């Protein structure tokens, strides 16, 4: 197998079809990638940094993943979200069965079940993280998040089956996820859960308005960016405050991996490097677009943060890995303070609750 961390590779050489790799991932661990080490701030993309030194990606068992998901489902039900008609109950059934059955499954059974299993594993993480981040927030303060989750539980069971007409559910899930994962009161980063924008963030008493766009094609990038900027400028008119800032948050996972295939790497370090490189290449390709649009808009709009979320394998440890990496592409003329705000936000989004 080719080394995914080597240079001059296309995404197709790194991301490979799921059904070719069942033997690598039918193991007893599930894990979440730790963001790679970031570089000094600049107008080029930089990846979020949560640790000064690289560490082995942490793991947990499928049974614990299932237990956490059940807790998230109970929490959502308690908030008045109907889980009987959407896709979430399907994930619980699949995970509830295979958390134990994978130990004794035949090769044929594993091959047949593999796509549904990994799809369920991938989807479960988002709902679980939202629950863990917001479970202690009173329901009366979660009206906006609840509305998003009521829509997010719908849509196709498998992300690969999305069409341009059926992306709304996961779009709302992305909005809810950004609000939840940015809620870190202990670190002086707190979500403004009743924001006019998709979400708002308070970083040491400074208000940052965020518009979230889950973009599924390169052709839709500019339109989504312009729409987000227009929405932020409307928010600036309604929210008085010279220190307010705006950020566009984009999920570009479906652009980089439209079929939901598997990112393959020999070890954890190569996996982190591969994800970082995919984001760097994407940023380099489209940085001219960001800067051209921002030059036409309010200087309060200070940059773009974007996310790649995908399944992967680290062959050295033979396990499935849920990668979620955020990156920063600041506005070219952003002040050092405004660049630092973006790093603070991305660092918060990259931390486990």
Q: Which residue has the tokens 């990638």?
A: 33
The Cα–Cα gap between 9 and 274 comes to 10
Phi and psi at residue 272, to the nearest 5°: -60, -40
CA atoms within 13 A on the CB side of 184: 20
User: What is the pTM assigned to this prediction?
Assistant: 0.83
Contact 210, 302 (CB under 8 A): no
Query: What number of other Cβ atoms are within 10 A of residue 66's Cβ?
Result: 24
Can you tell me whether residue 100 is helix, strand or coil? Answer: helix
C-alpha dihedral, 98 to 100 to 104 to 108, nearest 10°: 0
Q: What ranges make up the beta strands (E) of 116-168?
A: none
198 CB neighbour count, 10 Å cutoff = 25
Assigned token pair, 253: 């996972």
pLDDT of the chain along its 353 residues, tens only? 333 344 444 544 444 443 333 332 322 222 222 223 233 333 333 333 333 334 556 667 888 889 999 999 999 999 999 998 889 999 999 999 888 887 787 767 766 777 788 788 888 989 999 999 999 999 999 999 999 999 999 999 988 889 889 999 999 999 999 999 999 888 888 999 989 899 999 987 789 999 999 999 999 999 999 999 999 999 999 987 778 999 999 999 999 988 877 788 888 888 888 888 888 899 889 999 999 999 999 999 999 999 999 888 877 877 777 888 888 899 999 999 999 999 989 888 887 76
> Look-up: residue for tokens 């629950």?
131
């Amino acid at each position: 197998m080719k080394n995914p961390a080597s240079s001059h590779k296309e995404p197709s050489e790194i991301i490979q079809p799921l059904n070719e790799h069942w033997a690598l991932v039918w193991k007893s661990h599930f894990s979440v990638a730790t963001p790679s080490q970031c570089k000094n701030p600049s107008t080029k993309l930089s990846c979020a940094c949560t640790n000064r030194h690289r560490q082995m990606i942490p793991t947990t068992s499928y049974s614990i993943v299932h237990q956490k998901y059940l807790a998230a489902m109970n929490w959502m039900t308690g908030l008045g979200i109907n889980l009987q008609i959407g896709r979430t109950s399907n994930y619980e059934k699949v995970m509830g069965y295979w958390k134990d059955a994978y130990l004794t499954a035949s090769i044929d059974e594993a091959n047949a079940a593999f796509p549904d299993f990994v799809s369920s594993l991938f989807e479960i993480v988002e709902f679980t993280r939202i629950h863990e981040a917001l479970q202690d927030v009173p329901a009366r303060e979660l009206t906006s998040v609840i509305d998003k989750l009521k829509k997010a539980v719908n849509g196709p069971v498998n992300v690969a089956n999305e069409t341009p007409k059926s992306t709304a559910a996961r779009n709302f899930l992305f909005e809810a996820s950004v609000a939840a994962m940015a809620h870190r009161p202990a670190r002086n980063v707190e979500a403004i859960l009743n924001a006019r924008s998709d979400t708002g963030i308070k970083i040491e008493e400074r208000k940052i308005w965020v518009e979230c766009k889950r973009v599924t094609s390169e052709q839709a990038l500019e339109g989504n960016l312009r729409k987000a900027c227009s929405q932020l400028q409307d928010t600036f008119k309604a929210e008085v405050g010279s220190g307010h800032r705006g950020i566009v948050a984009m999920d570009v996972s479906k652009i980089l991996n439209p079929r939901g295939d598997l990112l393959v790497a020999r070890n954890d370090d190569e996996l982190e490097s591969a994800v970082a490189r995919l984001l760097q290449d994407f940023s380099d390709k489209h940085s001219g677009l960001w800067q051209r649009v921002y030059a036409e808009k309010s200087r309060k709009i200070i940059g773009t943060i974007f996310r790649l979320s995908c399944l992967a394998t680290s062959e050295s440890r033979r396990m499935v890995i849920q990668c979620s990496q955020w990156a920063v592409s600041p506005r070219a003329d952003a002040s050092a303070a405004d660049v630092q705000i973006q790093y603070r936000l991305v660092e918060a989004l990259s931390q486990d609750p």
